[in-house]
């Protein structure tokens, strides 16, 4: 039965309810990747390295993943309207503090707290989404709308960032997030009935498992630190990496023992006994690693193609369109109970097609039109895989354990997102260095083409009024920049090539492993009869 009439006031139409839910989710999603298009601006504003900014993004994810179990207790205790209002006020307060500080330590702490508060807003939003659909369809359609909004919000975030970073200081971003939050929060607060409860049972705020929360959040933070900063400190040559790994092992063992002894564990570890849950978790990690390469193409799009941030934001709306189409088709297939392996193969096929097309785009005289179709295919792959893998993972365990499955799914995404950032950084340093040295060896005074290009740059500088000495210096600088741009393009081609191979083998595994597993069991039964 549709529950909207019990939650929203009678005069509120359904289309307005869904618009309001979108407006509520958008600020939280913007906070998650608020400076995805301005890592350099953020690093400059706080006086940090780009790796530090990436770590702050991951800390936001840690806040979401670790506070999830505790949030359920707070959500069930308060009246939903009161709880939403408190969450919005806290979210606003955190953004105001971020706006007013440049202290690096406080910045990291507030990013973590921002993730924790976002869980509360997401909790209310998800329950409102589920109330919009028939009970048999609510889970699929609710998650389809939620993840669709999260994924397409990147396009809005890029446009958002482009305007702010070109016209204001970086910290204005936090004020802008507050302003974006106001319409959705006000509309939702006005349209909800008084004293509604989106939960079925109220639990007292007693015996909250703060110990597990602190251990789990510390564990995830240290894992992120090692993955992101390991290369920065030369891995095991650094004593701090050794200390972090030792602490991770100690915290991990302590957390497992605590959960085994508890009657109501923070995470029900028995979910890992289900084979399909393990498969879903593995696929979720692989998918996130394969999808996290749009940032690799950014240098090429900005430098070689000459896109500015506004044009890039508009181009990303084709990616958002692909996401919407992919999620809509997948939701229909899931409701019709289509073969899950075929859905996965279709999703990874679109990602593979995107990688192949972009590989050739990097090697040609690309323009805006040449990247629209690949971005659409990337969006299709994202939409298909995100919804199908999440639904498979959650439904692979009994309903009583579905909350622990959801929580673990968030942790899988946190881990894969962090690994993706580190992998791109590692490949960038390695491949860019290889290509830079290879190109540098060819650019000598004896090379006719390099001399010709150097002379061209020198003539351009002279034509603009530079002196002969200054023109030579400028020409060398322009040649160095051209080499660096070409090196980044070659790195991007390498990354897409290797990721394409990985995706191909993932598809091969999805197609063959269940069949091979069945064959091996038959062979084993013949060899070892029972």
pLDDT in tens, the chain (530 residues): 445 556 777 777 877 887 888 888 877 777 766 566 567 777 788 888 888 888 888 888 888 888 888 877 777 777 777 888 888 899 899 989 988 888 888 989 998 998 888 888 887 877 777 766 656 566 777 777 777 777 777 777 777 777 777 777 778 888 888 888 888 888 888 888 776 766 666 666 677 778 888 998 899 999 989 988 888 788 888 898 899 999 999 998 998 888 888 777 778 788 888 888 888 888 888 988 888 667 777 767 776 676 777 777 778 888 888 888 998 898 888 888 888 888 899 999 999 999 888 888 876 566 777 788 888 998 899 889 988 888 888 888 887 777 777 778 788 888 888 888 788 777 777 666 665 566 655 555 445 555 666 666 666 666 666 666 666 666 666 666 666 667 777 777 888 888 889 999 999 888 887 765 555 555 444 544 44
pTM: 0.82
Which of 27, 342, 28, 298 minimizes the C-alpha distance to 180?
Answer: 27
* Cβ atoms 227, 414 nearer than 8 A: no
* Whole-number pLDDT of residue 80: 76
* Superfamily (CATH H level) for 1-209: MFS general substrate transporter like domains (1.20.1250.20)
* Whole-number pLDDT of residue 169: 78
Cα–Cα distance measured from residue 222 to residue 244, given in angstroms and rounded to the nearest whole number = 6
| Class in CATH terms, 272-398+406-529 | mainly alpha
Other CB atoms closer than 10 Å to residue 488's CB: what's the count? 24
8 forms beta bridges with: 192
- Give the residue range(s) of CATH 1.20.1250.20 domains in the chain: 1-209, 272-398+406-529
Residue 8: helix, strand or coil by DSSP?
strand
| Helices vs strands, H then E, count in the chain | 18, 0
* Whole-number pLDDT of residue 250: 93
* Whole-number pLDDT of residue 516: 57
* Whole-number pLDDT of residue 529: 46
Cα–Cα distance measured from residue 228 to residue 231, given in angstroms and rounded to the nearest whole number = 7
CA angle in degrees (0–180, nearest 5) for 127-119-84:
60
* Cβ atoms 199, 80 nearer than 8 A: yes
* Whole-number pLDDT of residue 446: 46
Cα–Cα distance measured from residue 174 to residue 177, given in angstroms and rounded to the nearest whole number = 5
* Whole-number pLDDT of residue 203: 66
Other CB atoms closer than 10 Å to residue 216's CB: what's the count? 26
* Whole-number pLDDT of residue 197: 67
Backbone angles phi, psi at 192, to 5 degrees: -75, 145
* Whole-number pLDDT of residue 349: 92
């Amino acid at each position: 039965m549709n529950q909207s009439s019990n939650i929203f006031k009678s005069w509120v139409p359904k289309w307005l309810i869904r618009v309001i839910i979108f407006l509520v989710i958008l600020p939280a999603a913007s906070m998650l990747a608020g400076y995805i298009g301005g890592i350099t601006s953020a690093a400059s504003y706080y006086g940090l390295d780009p790796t530090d900014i990436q770590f702050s993004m991951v800390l936001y994810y840690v806040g979401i993943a670790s506070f999830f179990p505790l949030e359920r207790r707070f959500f069930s205790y308060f009246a939903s309207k009161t709880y939403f209002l408190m969450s919005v006020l806290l979210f606003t307060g955190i953004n105001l503090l971020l706006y007013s500080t440049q202290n690096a330590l406080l910045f990291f702490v507030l990013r973590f707290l921002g993730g924790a508060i976002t869980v509360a807003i997401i909790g209310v939003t998800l329950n409102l989404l589920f109330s919009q659909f028939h009970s048999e369809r609510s889970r699929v359609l609710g998650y389809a709308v939620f993840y669709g909004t999260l994924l397409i919000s990147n396009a809005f975030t890029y446009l958002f960032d482009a305007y702010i970073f070109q016209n204001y200081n970086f910290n204005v971003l936090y004020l802008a997030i507050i302003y974006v939050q106001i319409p959705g929060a006000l509309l939702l607060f006005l349209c909800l009935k008084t004293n509604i409860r989106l939960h079925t049972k109220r639990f007292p705020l007693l015996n909250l498992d703060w110990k597990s929360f602190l251990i789990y959040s510390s564990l995830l933070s240290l894992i992120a630190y090692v993955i992101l900063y390991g290369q920065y400190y030369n891995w095991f040559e650094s004593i701090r990496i050794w200390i972090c790994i030792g602490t991770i092992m100690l915290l991990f063992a302590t957390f497992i023992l605590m959960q085994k002894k508890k009657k109501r564990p923070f995470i029900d570890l028995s979910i890992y006994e289900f084979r399909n849950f393990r498969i879903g978790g593995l696929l979720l990690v692989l998918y996130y690693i394969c999808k996290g390469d749009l940032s690799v193409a950014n240098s090429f799009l900005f430098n070689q193609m000459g896109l500015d941030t506004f044009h890039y934001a508009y181009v990303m709306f084709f990616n958002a369109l692909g996401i919407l189409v992919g999620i809509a088709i997948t939701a229909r297939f899931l409701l019709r109970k289509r073969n899950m392996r075929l859905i996965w193969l279709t999703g990874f096929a679109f990602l593979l097609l995107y990688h192949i097309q972009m590989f050739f785009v990097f090697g040609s005289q690309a323009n805006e039109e040449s990247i629209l179709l690949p971005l659409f295919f990337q969006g299709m792959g994202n939409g298909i895989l995100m919804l199908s893998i999440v639904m498979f993972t959650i439904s692979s365990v009994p309903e009583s354990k579905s909350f622990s499955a959801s929580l673990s799914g968030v942790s899988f995404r946190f881990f894969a997102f962090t690994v993706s950032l580190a992998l791109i950084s590692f490949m960038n340093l390695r491949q860019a260095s290889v290509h830079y040295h290879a190109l540098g060896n060819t650019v000598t005074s004896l090379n006719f083409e390099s001399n010709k290009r150097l002379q061209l740059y020198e003539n351009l500088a002279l034509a603009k009024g530079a002196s002969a000495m200054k023109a030579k210096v400028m020409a060398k600088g322009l040649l160095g920049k051209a080499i660096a741009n070409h090196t980044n393009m070659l790195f991007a081609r390498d990354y897409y090539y290797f990721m394409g191979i990985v995706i191909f083998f993932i598809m091969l595994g999805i197609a063959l492993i269940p069949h091979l597993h069945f064959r091996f069991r038959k062979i084993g039964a013949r060899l070892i009869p029972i």
